[in-house]
Amino acid sequence: MTTPHLARDLLDVADVIHTAEEVAAGVSRVAKEITEKLGDCNPLLLCVMSGGVPFAGHLMTQLDFPLEFDYMHVTRYGQDTSGGALSWRSAPWTPVKDRTVLILDDILDEGLTLAAIVERMNELGAKACYTAVATDKLNGKKKPIKADFVALTVPDRFVFGYGMDVRGLYRNLPAIYAMKEE
pLDDT of the chain along its 182 residues, tens only? 677 777 788 899 999 999 999 999 999 999 999 999 999 999 999 999 989 999 999 999 999 999 999 999 987 654 444 555 777 777 789 999 999 999 999 999 999 989 999 999 999 999 999 999 999 999 999 999 999 999 999 999 999 999 999 988 999 999 999 998 76
pLDDT at residue number 76: 67
The Cβ-side half-sphere exposure at 171, using a 13 Å CA radius, reads 17
pLDDT at residue number 74: 84
Strand extents, DSSP E, 76-166: 87-90, 100-108, 128-138, 149-155, 159-160
CATH number of the 32-70+95-157 domain: 3.40.50.2020
Q: Are 133 and 105 in contact (CB under 8 A)?
A: yes
Amino acid at 140: G
pLDDT at residue number 77: 55
Any idea of the CA torsion for 12, 49, 57, 172, to the nearest 10 degrees? Answer: -20
Please report, for residues 37, 112, 150, the alpha-carbon distance to residue 142 in angstroms, rounded to integers and kept in the order given.
26, 11, 17
Which neighbouring-strand residues pair with 70?
46
Q: Are 151 and 134 in contact (CB under 8 A)?
A: yes
pLDDT at residue number 84: 59
pLDDT at residue number 27: 98
pLDDT at residue number 10: 86
The span from the CA of 145 to the CA of 132, in Å, is 12
- Tell me what percent of the chain is helix, strand and coil, each rounded to the nearest 5: 25, 30, 40
Catalytic positions, written as ranges: 109
The span from the CA of 62 to the CA of 53, in Å, is 15
Peptide linkage before 90 cis (omega within 30 of 0): no
